[in-house]
Amino acid sequence: MISIQSYILWALGIAALGTEIYALVDAARYRPEAYLAADKRTKNFWMLVLVVAALVGFVLVRNVLSIFGVVAFVAAAVYLADVRPAVRSISGRGGGSGRQGPYGPW
């Protein structure tokens, strides 16, 4: 018989894996120049980190609270909380008014 804790850990593992895959797909959408313009590490660095995080998340989906599962989730969370907003604002995909001229908003 499977306990409720097993279902909760399974759901946490799926949610962590989804976050890691979302971060990976989002990182692939931006041009390499945007990372440098935002004063962040290179696109190749973040793609490597997020690919490893997604693979670890996939392997440890049933053991999400292990140290490697937590580190993989934290890597994706750092990208989503710090790098993504900076790169997104440089790329013009931010949540601004949408009125962008050649030299910035107008």
Q: Which two tokens stand for residue 97?
A: 């008014």
CA atoms of 46 and 21, how far apart (whole Å): 13
- Of 18 and 101, which is predicted with more confidence? 18
Report yes or no: 53 and 75 within 8 Å, Cβ to Cβ: yes
Supply the mean pLDDT for the chain.
90
Specify the pairing of strand 104-105 against strand 100-101.
antiparallel
Q: Taking 60 as the threshold, does the pLDDT of residue 97 lie above it? A: no
Residue 11's Cβ-count burial label (10 Å; 0-12, 13-18, 19+) is exposed
Q: Examine the pLDDT at 3 and tell me if it is beyond 80.
A: yes
3-state class (DSSP) for residue 61: coil
Query: Over the stretch 40-64, which tens digit does the pLDDT of each residue have?
Result: 999 999 999 999 999 999 999 999 9
Predicted pLDDT of residue 4: 94
Q: Give residue limits of the domains in the chain.
A: 9-90
Mean pLDDT for 68-86 is 97
